[in-house]
Structure 1
Amino acid sequence: MGKNKKAKNKKHNNSKKNREAAALFFALVSFLSAYAFIVPARSGILGRAVSAVMFVVFGTADYILPLIFLRYFIIHIMQSVELKEKLDFIWSVICIVSCSVLFEAVRFTFASAEEISGGWVGDNLYPFFKELFGVWLGFAIIIIIFLFSAAKLFRISISSCVYNFLKNPEESIIKSEEKKVQNILQVKKQECLIQQKSDRAVPKPNILSVQEKEEKKKPESLICPAVKQTKVDSKIFDYKLPAADLLKNDSAADFETDKDELLERAELLRTTLADFDIGAEVKDIIPGPVVTRYDLVLSPGIRIQTVSGIIDNISLAMRTASIRVVSIPEKAVVGIEVPNPSGTIVGLRGILESTAFESSKSLLTLALGKTTDGSGYVTDLASMPHLLIAGATGSGKSVGIHTIILSILYKARPDEVKFMLIDPKRVEMPIYRDIPHIYNPCTCAADADIITGHREAAAALKKLVNVMDERYTKFAKEMARNIEDYNSKMVETGGEKEFYIVVIIDELADLMIVVQKEIEDSIQRLAQMARAVGIHLILATQRPSVNVITGIIKANFPARLSFQTTSKIDSRVILDMLGAECLMGRGDMLFLPPGEARPARLHGAYVSLKEAEKVISFINGQNFPRLYEPVVAEVERNVSFNAAEEKRTRDLIPALKLINERKRISQDLLKANFGGSARATNILSILETEGFITKPEGTNKWQIDHDKIRQYLEETK
């Protein structure tokens, strides 16, 4: 790895030097060509020859060549700009050729422009445009080609220019007000600097109001520039929620059932049970888009466990897999869920257009999927208040997360709900990075993005705890018990409402490996207290083991959502019961709402990537401002949340003091003082790595460097 890293650094340095050399070359060519074209008489024989040749070929358009070379200089000198050498060359040729044709068209169209020339290129190409399109239409087409090629060469966004030209006057007024406020703040900042200098020269008593003291304590780096300027009222933006027709029609809405086939399968199920001396009668048949449930009335004396014990035999007889047996106490029957021979895809659109979703007033309404009988299942994240998701790879977990995000996007404005997305895998969430709903408590609104780094995620969650504490303080001043009461009072008094924050972690197991202590501590605090202030957590993992979904996490997440698991143990970890191992995968899931004893079987709504991109494009097309006030509480962004390093530092100094006192070292001595052979072995390894102790070859006795130990202890005092 070290060699690869050195090779990469060497390659990067070489590339940087090449870009700098090319930049200097283009700067020189730009200056020399401009000098030769403007003052050819003083540019020597070579300069006059180049100027004459370029004028013959391109005519008056040769004057844009220095500008093109200057643009190449800027592209190469700016390391952040991506090089597109072939494309830039093509657009450069198109630009100068179209400019020559344009000058030739001007010369023929306007009598007063006889001195302008298009050179050999314009003289040969302009007749083609003139004959094909006519004089004026050809003139317009040439102008469009020239402007388009120049925009591509100079990296100018045409859509942004058109938008800035056509945007409404209200935004212009807001920007002008922002500039005024910014100018005022700059003047005040200069006055403050002058005042500080004078204060250093002549000490004066520091008398500040409470508000000034609080503002003085705010770190300058943590305050977003947009917030320092002014606060833009998002209510003036007419935001429109996405329409359901952006999604595909629900193919499972009109699933067909064959009554004769259902009766045949019910009879086959009854005879299969009879072969194992289990008497049962089929009471009801409940068909669904993916699974059909057969409600059986068992004969007296037959236990449900007897039916569960022959699941494999029933699957073999029914020629299907993933059969699930569930008791239904309200009907005094046993339900056997059998997958249909040909299932249909459950789409999200049908659930979004259902009465249950449209009539829900909660901003955190979730359209999870459809039940086994085909009806849409809608729930509320605010009442859960947190959700734990688990499932094996390929079971539909990632699609379920997309469904949850889109459900909220169909209900809430960007100033009502924010998403804090943590994606260590870096592949699932990038499509949402530009939506105005994105939130990161460690940065200002303009810089908010998907969180992918482990330590960045730990810092963001720790900062979110500060957000929670700050909101509790704010709510207490207004005598509000929760975010609903607070927002109601803000509506009455005309104050600013608080938005909900939905934290989604796509792969919890990956974070727990690196920063388990910090992640678990922050999640515990947020899960216990964050509900009242509008912060809700959704944790997802494909490895539902006890060291990932710990007892602390499970105790604070009563709502569970399990996709297909690979073992019964994983099903017990996530649901505290069996059943998830019998699911079919591909969105088949068990949802355990808070306070319920039995999970509901759902078929998750499928959302393709193209559908999600359509919704995101619709939201981004409205150009809603991404606004929120960052938290002032100081949290180190680059804090090293390495638990092993903390433990290393914690054990090293006491061990060195013990060695300095006893003048010897052994594993038994460390075990007696620190407890545990594993910890003693780890301390010995640390001491040997740091060079405080050594063990020469051929001996089993540790040699101690007492001078180094004493020096280290003196430095750490």
Structure 2
Amino acid sequence: MRKNKKTKNKKQDSLKRNREAAALFFALASFLSAYVFIVRSRSGILGRAFFAVMFVVFGQAIYILPLIFLRYFIIHIMQSVELRKKLDFIWSVICIVSCSVLFKAVCLTFVPTTEIFSGGWIGDNLYPFFKELFGVWLGFAVIIAIFLFSVAKLFRISINNSLKNPEASITKVEEEKVQDIAQAKKQEYLILQKSDRAIPKPNILSRQEKEEKKKAESLICPTVKQTKVDSKIFDYKLPVAGLLKNDSAADFETSKDELLKRAELLRTTLADFDIDAKVKDIIPGPVVTRYDLILSPGIRIQTVSGIIDNISLAMRTASIRVVPIPEKAVVGIEVPNSSGIIVGLRGILESATFENSKSLLTLALGKTTDGSGYVTDLASMPHLLIAGATGSGKSVSIHTIILSILYKARPDEVKFMLIDPKRVEMPIYRDIPHIYNPCTCATNADIITGYREAAVALKKLVNVMDERYTKFAKAMARNIEDYNSKMVETGGEKEFYIVVIIDELADLMTAVQKEIEDSVQRLAQMARAVGIHLILATQRPSVNVVTGIIKANFPARLSFQTTSKIDSRVILDMLGAECLMGKGDMLFLPPGEARPARLQGAYVSLKEAEKVISFINEQNFPRLYEPVVAEVERTVGFNADKEKRTRDLIPALKLINERKRISQDLLKANFGGSARATNILSILETRGFITKPEGTNKWQIDYDKIRQYLEETERGACAERQS
């Protein structure tokens, strides 16, 4: 490893010397060319000949040649600037040639009677081409554009950033330099790590190597410290509703005669079963029409619910739902329309309710049965649990929720921590500046897809919550709204909201249930005040996934069509979700409400979502968030739990080797607690130290493997003590 390191250092020294020599050459060339062009009478025969040849070819454009040589000198003397020999040479030629044509154009356009400006042979032969192709004035503009573009490329100037903010282009160049250096350091560090793995040796590093390793690690995510700028200076624009399609359900029309006809059919169907009812009101909607009935005295609502299948058969439709409406003293029967209309998101976003909402976490869920937009606030829920069978509209609803917040909040006001084990729904959001991951720096934040990565990220988010509570306590603030108000008064930095969205909770609960459940429980109980909100979605709302701990901390529920009544009871604690139609038909149970509201979820296509994302990404808003969280090691939480679970392994193996037997009672007597004994048995079986063959109830012990493991552990401990 040291030999490779020395070889690499020699190559770097050689490259450095070559750059310094080239820099000296270009400095000399810049001085000599300027001297020859300005004081050519004293430059000798060679100097005068050089000037004459260059002037005949390029005209007065030769006076920019010393500046180009000076630029080459600066490029070579600055070690942090990347060399682009071929590109720089090409842009230099284009710069001189376009300058020659520009002088010729100026001469012929503005002072045609005199030869004040000369473009040389190049200008005389190329300018007629531009004049013939574009005309006089347009050709003049094209030549100027080519000249400025070549100068910008040669001098590493970002034209786009210069037009928006003159200082932004310089900042971007400096950030690119830092990122290039950091990337090189990162690659070097990874190579050193691979070399260390290839040669088995004790983990002993010299003081110099430790300092180099620490320096390389600190440069892996340099943008955490480099992008510490005030995000208020960025003129961020919220997306416009015109990026989405028009709402086809905005002006839906229903036939009055058809509604009356169906109402009479409903009344006669009930009369056939000796249920006397009177239709009081008809409330048509884009997908479902509700018929409010007044039942005769003595008729129970359960009687109407018991003949839903017969009502569906008579009205030739499915998914009929009976809803008691106490405030009107009627029973509502929701009947799907013969032809449903797609409810678009644009119509709800353009509604006065959404536009007048001041909350950054305003959600446009859909439309009610009467066709009015339904808008709610995630901050008041404060967490949301979503469930529904496959194809019922759950994923579309998640896109709707994300886009609703994107239409309300800047990237420095709300962040999304997206967990998508399925890897198919969330990737379109990976480049937006709203993405957040507490395990990494801002520039590397991405969608979380791995089970362990998700568990670690949620554990780190608990740390973020604790840090915010400490910060709020010092500022004497009760919640994030109070804290941000004080920061506005004092000029401090405000905190942003964090919305955690898990697209498939069942997959995570199957793999790492304990870690996920513990983190979700803590966040759900305490994170509201510090601006952290959870949205959990699953297509399998069983008691193993939506546990009692999770349900107790998620009062707001959103249920799409379920496959059974049991799933409906799990998610809503009542029946009804099994009667939904699917395709966005849902029941929303707000916190504190006894009865859910039936909504038709707003539909948004992936193409519409991509338009909104492109609109956001084109603004190049920087990703900024707390660097303290990004510096935490990614595997601390999991390794800590792993160490806690395996700390009893060595004592247990010594006990087995001494007693020559194993049982839960033996472990319980020596380590205390049934749970601890069960955990030790599980670890021993997983590691292969004990096995239980099929058909038997007795553990078989691999003593050879136990002795070998204990000997290797002892040797490793001795080597560590000696080092």
Q: Deviations over 1:352-411 (max 9, x none)?
A: 121211111111111111110011111111110011111111111111111111111111
Partner amino acid, structure 2, of 1:236: I
**Pair 1:479–1:446, CA change in 2 (3 A):** same
Q: Which residue number corresponds to residue 430 of structure 1?
A: 427
Q: Which residue number corresponds to residue 512 of structure 1?
A: 509
Q: CA deviation at 1:259?
A: 1.0
Q: C-alpha separation between the residues in 2 aligned to 1:706 and 1:416?
A: 60
Give 4+ residue runs of structure 1 displaced > 3 Å after superposition: 108-116, 126-148, 172-182, 217-224, 632-636, 638-655, 664-687, 692-695, 697-708, 710-717
Matched, 1:623 2:620: yes
Task: Tell me if the contact between 1:530 and 1:536 (Cα under 8 Å) persists in the aligned partners.
Answer: yes
Give the counterpart of 2:392 among 390, 395, 410: 395
Please give the TM-score of this superposition, normalised by the length of structure 2. Answer: 0.69
Q: C-alpha separation between the residues in 2 aligned to 1:537 and 1:285?
A: 38
Q: C-alpha separation between the residues in 1 aligned to 2:146 and 2:279?
A: 74
Q: C-alpha separation between the residues in 2 aligned to 1:702 and 1:288?
A: 66
Q: CA deviation at 1:705?
A: 5.1
**Pair 1:702–1:317, CA change in 2 (3 A):** closer
Q: CA deviation at 1:340?
A: 0.4
**Pair 1:504–1:222, CA change in 2 (3 A):** farther
Q: Deviations over 1:48-89 (max 9, x none)?
A: xxxxxxxxxxxxxxxxxxxxxxxxxxxxxxxxxxxxxxxxxx
Q: Deviations over 1:635-659 (max 9, x none)?
A: 4314684999779846754653443
Q: C-alpha separation between the residues in 2 aligned to 1:701 and 1:543?
A: 37
Q: Which residue number corresponds to residue 408 of structure 2?
A: 411
Q: Deviations over 1:334-357 (max 9, x none)?
A: 111000001111111111121211
Q: Which residue number corresponds to residue 302 of structure 2?
A: 305
Following superposition of structure 1 onto structure 2, how do residues 583-622 of structure 1 map, counting pairs within 5 Å? 583-622=580-619
Q: C-alpha separation between the residues in 1 aligned to 2:135 and 2:338?
A: 65
Following superposition of structure 1 onto structure 2, how do residues 3-18 of structure 1 map, counting pairs within 5 Å? none
Q: CA deviation at 1:419?
A: 1.1
Give the counterpart of 1:365 among 362, 365, 369: 362
Q: C-alpha separation between the residues in 2 aligned to 1:495 and 1:583?
A: 49
Indicate the percent of aligned positions where both proteins have the same amino acid: 86
Task: Tell me if the contact between 1:455 and 1:639 (Cα under 8 Å) persists in the aligned partners.
Answer: no
Q: Which residue number corresponds to residue 241 of structure 2?
A: 244
Q: Deviations over 1:191-216 (max 9, x none)?
A: xxxxxxxxx99xxxxxxxxxxxxxxx
Partner amino acid, structure 2, of 1:519: I
Q: Which residue number corresponds to residue 548 of structure 2?
A: 551
Give the counterpart of 1:287 among 284, 287, 295: 284
**Pair 1:358–1:223, CA change in 2 (3 A):** farther
Q: Which residue number corresponds to residue 26 of structure 1?
A: none
Q: C-alpha separation between the residues in 2 aligned to 1:292 and 1:226?
A: 55
Matched, 1:337 2:311: no
Q: CA deviation at 1:164?
A: 3.3
Task: Tell me if the contact between 1:290 and 1:339 (Cα under 8 Å) persists in the aligned partners.
Answer: yes
Report the 3-state secondary structure (helix = DSSP H, G, I; strand = E; otherwise coil) of the residue aligned with 2:334. strand
Report the 3-state secondary structure (helix = DSSP H, G, I; strand = E; otherwise coil) of the residue aligned with 1:420. strand
**Pair 1:665–1:459, CA change in 2 (3 A):** closer
Partner amino acid, structure 2, of 1:566: T
Q: Which residue number corresponds to residue 636 of structure 1?
A: 633
Report the 3-state secondary structure (helix = DSSP H, G, I; strand = E; otherwise coil) of the residue aligned with 2:245. coil
**Pair 1:269–1:456, CA change in 2 (3 A):** same
Give the counterpart of 1:662 among 642, 659, 664: 659
Moved more, 656-665 or 706-715: 706-715
Matched, 1:502 2:499: yes
**Pair 1:271–1:314, CA change in 2 (3 A):** same
Unmatched segments (≥5 aa) in structure 1: 1-94, 183-199, 202-216
Q: CA deviation at 1:241?
A: 1.6
Q: C-alpha separation between the residues in 2 aligned to 1:237 and 1:683?
A: 54
Q: C-alpha separation between the residues in 2 aligned to 1:606 and 1:248?
A: 10
Q: C-alpha separation between the residues in 2 aligned to 1:567 and 1:698?
A: 37
**Pair 1:174–1:700, CA change in 2 (3 A):** closer
Partner amino acid, structure 1, of 2:465: M
Following superposition of structure 1 onto structure 2, how do residues 25-40 of structure 1 map, counting pairs within 5 Å? none
Matched, 1:447 2:427: no
Q: Which residue number corresponds to residue 25 of structure 1?
A: none
Partner amino acid, structure 2, of 1:432: Y
Q: Deviations over 1:517-563 (max 9, x none)?
A: 11111111111111001111111111111111111111111101111
Q: Which residue number corresponds to residue 228 of structure 1?
A: 225
Q: Which residue number corresponds to residue 48 of structure 2?
A: none
**Pair 1:282–1:694, CA change in 2 (3 A):** closer
Partner amino acid, structure 1, of 2:369: T
**Pair 1:296–1:241, CA change in 2 (3 A):** same
Q: CA deviation at 1:114?
A: 6.1
Q: Deviations over 1:415-445 (max 9, x none)?
A: 1111111112222112222222111112222
Give the counterpart of 2:561 among 561, 564, 572: 564
What is the root-mean-square deviation in Å for CA atoms of aligned residues? Answer: 4.7
Q: CA deviation at 1:709?
A: 2.8
Task: Tell me if the contact between 1:351 and 1:367 (Cα under 8 Å) persists in the aligned partners.
Answer: yes
**Pair 1:642–1:575, CA change in 2 (3 A):** farther
Give the counterpart of 1:580 among 577, 584, 587: 577
Q: Which residue number corresponds to residue 381 of structure 1?
A: 378
Q: CA deviation at 1:248?
A: 1.7
Q: Which residue number corresponds to residue 476 of structure 1?
A: 473
Q: CA deviation at 1:300?
A: 2.0
Q: Which residue number corresponds to residue 167 of structure 1?
A: 164
Give the counterpart of 1:323 among 320, 324, 337: 320
Q: C-alpha separation between the residues in 1 aligned to 2:695 and 2:501?
A: 56
Q: CA deviation at 1:623?
A: 2.1
Partner amino acid, structure 2, of 1:430: P
Report the 3-state secondary structure (helix = DSSP H, G, I; strand = E; otherwise coil) of the residue aligned with 2:291. strand
Task: Tell me if the contact between 2:464 and 2:629 (Cα under 8 Å) persists in the aligned partners.
Answer: no
Unmatched segments (≥5 aa) in structure 2: 1-90, 106-116, 180-206, 209-213, 715-723
Q: CA deviation at 1:576?
A: 0.8
Report the 3-state secondary structure (helix = DSSP H, G, I; strand = E; otherwise coil) of the residue aligned with 2:309. helix
Report the 3-state secondary structure (helix = DSSP H, G, I; strand = E; otherwise coil) of the residue aligned with 1:631. helix
Q: C-alpha separation between the residues in 1 aligned to 2:294 and 2:288?
A: 19
Q: Deviations over 1:283-329 (max 9, x none)?
A: 11111111000111122222211111111111111000100111111
Give the counterpart of 2:464 among 455, 464, 467: 467
Aligned residue pairs total: 576
**Pair 1:147–1:323, CA change in 2 (3 A):** farther
Q: C-alpha separation between the residues in 2 aligned to 1:504 and 1:651?
A: 36
**Pair 1:285–1:439, CA change in 2 (3 A):** same
Report the 3-state secondary structure (helix = DSSP H, G, I; strand = E; otherwise coil) of the residue aligned with 2:297. coil
Q: Which residue number corresponds to residue 206 of structure 1?
A: none
Q: Which residue number corresponds to residue 72 of structure 2?
A: none
